[in-house]
Chains A and B, each alone.
Chain A
Amino acid sequence: MIKQIFKISLMNLRNLPSRFGISSVVVVGIGGVVGVLVAILAMASGFESALSSGASNDRVILLRDGSTDEMASSISQAEVALIETLPGVAALSPELYTVVDVPKMDTGTYANLIARGVGTGAFEVRPEVEIVAGRNFEPGRTEIIAGAKAATEFRGLDVGAEVPLRDSMWRVVGHFEAAGSAYESEIWLDFPAALNAFRRNSATSLRVRLDSPASFEELTQAIESDPRLQVQVISEPSFMERQSATLRQTIKSFGYAVAVIMAIGALFAALNTMYTAVSTRTIEIATLRAIGFSSVPIVVSVMIEAVILAILGGALGALFSYVIFNGFTVATLNPAAFSQVAFDFNVSTEIVYLGMTWAIVIGFFGGLLPAISAAYIPITTALRGE
C-alpha cells in the first residue's frame, strides 16, 4: 500500500511539468490568496507595533484630570515646578502638543502633523531618540527636528529647509529616529520657543521618567494628596494602549474579516480549480483502478500533489507580498490623536507561517473532495465518462 502510494505519487509529481497549465492555475490562485492575506496581516501587525512600540514601564504621562488625550489637556508652569520636586521623578519634560498643517509628500495636500514642543529633559525621558541627520535644535531658537517618518511622509522637512508654523519660519536642523515608535511621525521643537510661537503659557502634558517602575505608586500618591495638583498619572504602556485601542481593534478586525472572507472565497475558487484539475483525470483514475490500483493510494497521491501545489502557491504569494510590502511605509490617520501615523508593513515569520497554513488547508480540502469522489465512484461509471 505504502509502496503504491509512493510509486503513484512519484509518477504524478514527475509529470507535474506536463500538466503545467492546470497546475499553474492552482498555484497562482492559491498564491494570490496567500499574498493578500499576508499583506493584510503585515499591515495590521506593522500598525500595531508602530503604535505601541517603545512603551516603557518607567515612563509616565501626566494629563489634566479628566483629559483623555494630550490635545485636550493643560498643565500650568506652577504645577510643572511642583511636580519636578516630587519623589521618584528622575527626568521630566513639559510638552506642548499641537497639530500643524503640512503638505503630504505624495499628493501635496495638507494634512495634520504633530508638532511637539519638548523640554530639555525630553531626551533624558526618551533615551531611544537619536539624531540621525543634522543636529538637535538649540533652546530658544526657532529650529525644529523632524522624525524620520514625518520627513518622508511630508514635504519640506529636509535638513536645512524652512517651514512656516503659525506666524514664524522654522528651520529644520536635524532628523531623529525613536526606535520605530510613533514619535518618528512627529516634529519636535524647543518648548519655550513653542509656547512663544503658539502664544500659549502652559504645557499640554508632562513626560516623566521614573527612578524605577516601582516609583509609579509613590508618584501617584504624592500627586493625588496635593490639592494644588489637578493632574492624573498614566503609565506610558497604558496610555499608548488607550490611544490606539479603538483604531487597533478596527484595523485588526477589519484585517481578519477581509482575510476570512477572502479565504472562504478562495477556498471555493481553489476547490473549483482542484475539482476541474482532478475531474479531467477521472477517466485516467478509473483506468488506473481498472488496472488494479486501489483507491486509497490514488486519493493520497492526488492529495500529495494538491498540497505540494498549494505549498508552491503559498510560498509564491508570501514571497510576492514580502518583496512588495515588507518595510513598505504607509501613513494613516489616527483618529484618537488627530494626526498621521506612519507605519511599516511587517511581513513577519509568523505571518508567513499563517499564510502557508492557509495554503495547505486550501490545498488539502481542495484536493480531498475531488480525489475521494474520483476514487470512489464506480469504475464503470467513470469509464463511461459521464
Chain B
Amino acid sequence: MAFIELNNVVKNYAKGSEVVHVLQDLNLSLEAGDFLALMGPSGSGKSTLLNLIGGIDQPTAGRVVVAGSELGSMSSSQLAKWRSESIGFVFQFYNLLPFLTAQRNVELPLLLTNLNGSQRKENAMTALRTVSLDDRAKHKPGELSGGQQQRVAIARAIVADPQILVCDEPTGDLDRQSAQEILALLEILNEQFKKTIIMVTHDPLAAEHAKNILHLDKGVLVESGQTEVAT
C-alpha cells in the first residue's frame, strides 16, 4: 500500500436541502517523499481533498489511508492526536495567533508533547533557524511581512517533525519574490528533510517547484506530470 492512498472517495456537502457533490469516486496514491502540486479551477474540490488527507475532514464514502492509518475509522480525538504527530498545516493566510511572538507560535504544536519549556524553546528556535527567521523570534505576526509570517507558519508546521506537510495555497497571498522564497523552502524541506508535501496552488509557476502535478476538475482527478493515478 502506498504512503497516501485514497480509494473510491466521495465527498458531499449538504447545503440546505441540496447536496453538493464535491469529490466523486476519487482514487489517488502517493509515495513517501513526494512533492505534489494540486491544481484546478476554483470550487473544484482541491481544499476538500487536502483536508481529507490532512485528517480535518472525513469522506462521505471511500477509504483514506495516510501513513498507515485508516482515517475514516478514527474518532475525532484520535484524529487530533494523529494530526499532531503526522501532519503540518500551512494555510494561505498563515493563521498565526496574532498575540503570540513568532517563537511562541512555533512552540504551539509542542504544547501537545511532553517537552518542557526550555526544550520547546530550543526546538522552536531550531525550526525558526530552518526558515531563516531566528532573528525575528521575539516579533509578533503584525510586525512581520507576509512572506516572513508564512515562514513562521512553516516553522510551526515542521516543529513537531511530522512526515507530511499539507499546504493550501501557501503563496496565494504573497508577492512573486516572497512566493519564490517559500517555494524554495518547501523544496528544501522535501529534498533534505524528506517531508512528503501536498500543495494546492493556482499558480503554474509555483507548481513547477513540485515533483508532480495533478489537476482536479469538478471533483475528478486528471493526470499530468509523472504521477500515477490509480483507476
Contacts and interface: CB of A to CB of B under 8 A. Distances in A.
* A joins B in a complex: yes
Interface of A: 4, 7-8, 11, 15, 18-19, 283-284, 287-295, 378-380, 383
Contacts of B112: 4, 291-293
Given A7-B111, A8-B111, A284-B97, A290 B89 contact: yes
Q: Is the interface of B mostly helix, strand, loop or mixed?
A: helix
Closest 8 CB pairs of A and B: A292-B84, A18-B99, A287-B95, A379-B56, A15-B99, A7-B111, A292-B83, A380-B57
Given A4-B111, A7-B111, A291 B99 contact: no
B91 A292 contact: no
B118 interface: no
B99 A19 contact: yes
Residue among A8, A18, A290 facing the most chain B CB atoms (10 A cut-off): A290
Nearest to B168: A383
Nearest to A12: B99
A284 B81 CA distance: 18
A348 to B, nearest CB: 40
Interface string B71-100: 000001100111111000101000101111
A169 to B, nearest CB: 74
A307 B14 CA distance: 36
A289 B111 contact: no
B62 interface: no
Residue among A291, A292, A378, A383 facing the most chain B CB atoms (10 A cut-off): A292
Contacts of A284: 95, 97
Given A288-B108, A291-B108, A292-B81, A15 B91 contact: no
A292 B156 CA distance: 12
A386 B15 CA distance: 13
A11 B111 contact: yes
A292 B108 CA distance: 10
Interface of B: 47-48, 51, 54, 56-57, 76-77, 80-85, 89, 91, 95, 97-100, 104, 108-109, 111-112, 156
29 contacts: A4-B112, A11-B104, A11-B111, A15-B100, A18-B99, A284-B95, A284-B97, A287-B91, A287-B97, A288-B108, A289-B56, A289-B80, A290-B54, A290-B89, A291-B83, A291-B89, A291-B109, A292-B84, A292-B109, A292-B112, A293-B80, A293-B84, A293-B111, A295-B76, A379-B57, A380-B56, A380-B57, A383-B91, A383-B95
Nearest to B55: A290
Contacts of A294: 77, 80
Nearest to A288: B108
Contacts of A8: 111
Contacts of A287: 89, 91, 95, 97
B147 to A, nearest CB: 19
A4 B57 CA distance: 23
Given A287-B95, A292-B84, 13 more contacts: A4-B112, A18-B99, A284-B95, A287-B89, A287-B91, A289-B80, A290-B54, A291-B112, A291-B156, A294-B77, A295-B76, A379-B56, A380-B51
Contacts of B109: 291-292
Nearest to B86: A292
Contacts of B104: 11
A277 B204 CA distance: 40
Contacts of A380: 47-48, 51, 56-57
A207 to B, nearest CB: 69
Contacts of B76: 295
A379 B51 CA distance: 9
